Amino acid sequence: MCETNHNPNIKLDKEGNCNTDEHKTWNRRSFLQALGLVGGGSMMLANTPLSVSRPSPLSIALSQSVNENILILVRLQGGNDGFNTIIPVYDYDVYANARPLIRIPPSEFINLNDDYAMPKPMNKLEGVWGEGQMKVVHGVGYESSSLSHFKGSDIYANTNLLEDDRTGFMGRYFGEIYPDYFFNPPPSPPSIQIGSIGNLVFKGPESDYSFAVSDPRRLLQIIENETFYNLDGVDENCTYGEKLRFLREATNTTFDYADVISAAYERSSAYEGYLDDSLGRQFSIISRLIKGGLGTKVYLVTLGGFDTHNNQTQRHQQLLTSFSEAISTFYADLTAAGWDDKVLSMTMSEFGRRFRENGSLGTDHGTAAPTMFFGTGLNGNGFVGEHPDLNNLTRGGNVTNTMDFRQVYATVMKDWLCIDEGLVGRSLLDSDGGPFESLDLGFNCSGTNPNIPTDGEGLTHIPTYSDSQTFINIVTPQTTHVDVALFNVVGQKVATLANEMLMEGVDMVINVKESANTRLSTGPYVYQIKTNNGDYSKSIIIS
């Protein structure tokens, strides 16, 4: 008999057994769609969103193949006024004439160099700048910028300038490296949103690759009161029984996932000095997760209130104070713990503000704005790109962007997170203009990725893609034996690609398909290089 309690939709045959036709057509993905879980990727337990989790061999291999670098996205929600954040001192007369009532006077400057300044409410960043932990990219935006909060936010998340798209650039990236994410996600969440849920940035074609939590201590409460479900006696020969078992497994593994995050939080200690405001609390949580060794690569925090149509001077200064206090304290915290060189923070906002003030002591929706970066990994302070021409405004009174926001994203993905250039292009929907050229932000993977060292202590290994072929390029600074193996999505070894001596300075180029000498399906794989001096690995794509 089939268990049908409280489920009028279960179909029985004349003998009261489960309908076998229904069983033939049912699959877990369609079931999850019916429950509204696919595309959301999270469940609500005790009002805290928790994602289903179960580590897979591929996920573990991938987690071992990347560097330790972490990215923090700092969303300035509402459209930050870049002109009153990074003040164009070099053209101050033009700036002051456009903003007679809301301009920042020279007496309120924190000079960054002869051409640019910050307002005094950002004074906590003066030391960050002085210590070489801050850079600014000028004029970030895109052509025909949307002035809608919703559309602008979507475009900065999905990078699609041509049509509506409900996937985000980081979601598409995670979708490629975790093809079976919902059933076999990585040991740690790929991304975490503090205090917000469901940002499009992390939305993939079939799942949301983020974990949203307002307070890790809530997770601890869930763990302490958890009830693991007994899987014995569940009849998997019945569709309803299979569904029931899956949901119980999902709930059980959810407790395990909550345990991972809570354990990382509890392994670290709080740093005194954060303001007791929204952004300060968000950064304090992230700091503890990082210091606790969680392993998550991308975090998102949000500071709202930047839609300053009126009374901008006071409101904007309060927001910039909160922002600068949080950033300054966060990096002081990380420095004390030895993490400051591994964590890069960058701002993002749906648009900038109009150059000229309006009649309500504020500014209206605009176009381009600066993107600010923070972290020791920047290797010095400075400005990148060209500032928009303040004397050449559009008919709507806006400046023209001088830096494509996708080029900023591409630089961070390629040179900080060390993602393959081809995968970066696919994630950013770069189908027309070829790869985005990297900006000089002071870091690159040849200097930051322990798997691609340049100090002579290891070997260089870089995947490349050409004519539907995948290649692995290997160079060693000293003669060594190399054993190169290929693993599939379930962690099984599928081929030995090379097993030989490699001479110092000789470039070994492996054509993966040819060397595998077996049929390879399209999709992600992981290669591992064993040498006399250590092991190296990285994910690749077979097309």
pLDDT tens across 160-176, in order? 999 999 999 999 999 88
Amino acid making up residue 154: D
Find tokens 């990215």 and name the residue.
Answer: 71
* Res. 539: pLDDT tops 70: yes
pLDDT for res 246: 55
Q: Average pLDDT over the chain, rounded to whole?
A: 81
Nearest-Å Rg of the Cα atoms of the chain is 26
pLDDT tens-digit series, residues 107-157: 999 999 999 999 999 999 999 999 999 999 999 999 999 999 999 999 999
Rounded Cα distance between 431 and 427, Å, is 10
pTM: 0.72
Mean pLDDT confidence for 441-469: 64
Rounded Cα distance between 10 and 17, Å, is 10
Nearest by Cα to 285 from 342, 335, 326, 345? 326
Sign, CA dihedral 71-77-83-87, equals negative
Mean pLDDT confidence for 456-473: 78
Find tokens 């972490």 and name the residue.
Answer: 70
Residue 268, classified by CB atoms within 10 Å of its CB into exposed (0-12), middle (13-18) or buried (19+), is middle
Mean pLDDT confidence for 257-268: 80
- Say which residues have a Cβ less than 8 Å from residue 60's Cβ, sequence separation at least 6: 186, 187, 491
More confident residue, 461 or 457: 461
Rounded Cα distance between 483 and 498, Å, is 6
Percent of the chain with pLDDT over 70: 74
pLDDT for res 17: 45
More confident residue, 490 or 512: 512
Percent of the chain with pLDDT over 90: 53
| Cβ-contact 167, 209 below 8 angstroms | no
Mean pLDDT confidence for 458-480: 84
Cα dist. 107→90, 110, 128 in Å?
Answer: 16, 9, 21
pLDDT for res 53: 37
Mean pLDDT confidence for 174-186: 74
- Where is average pLDDT lowest: 11-15, 38-42, 94-98? 38-42
| Cβ-contact 271, 287 below 8 angstroms | yes
Candidate ranges 408-412, 484-488, 490-494; pick with highest mean pLDDT: 408-412
Nearest by Cα to 88 from 75, 101, 98, 76? 98
More confident residue, 532 or 457: 532
Which residues, listed in sequence order, are joined to residue 85 by a DSSP beta bridge? none
* Res. 457: pLDDT tops 70: no
Other Cβ atoms closer than 10 A to 501: 10
Whole-angstrom distance between the N-terminal and C-terminal Cα of the chain? 47
| Side-chain-facing half-sphere of 410: CA atoms under 13 Å | 22
* Res. 105: pLDDT tops 50: yes
pLDDT for res 31: 42
Mean pLDDT confidence for 322-344: 96
pLDDT tens-digit series, residues 384-418: 999 999 999 999 999 999 999 999 999 999 999 99
Alpha helices in 268-293 (DSSP H): 278-291
3-state secondary structure of 301: strand
pLDDT tens-digit series, residues 508-529: 999 999 999 988 887 778 888 9
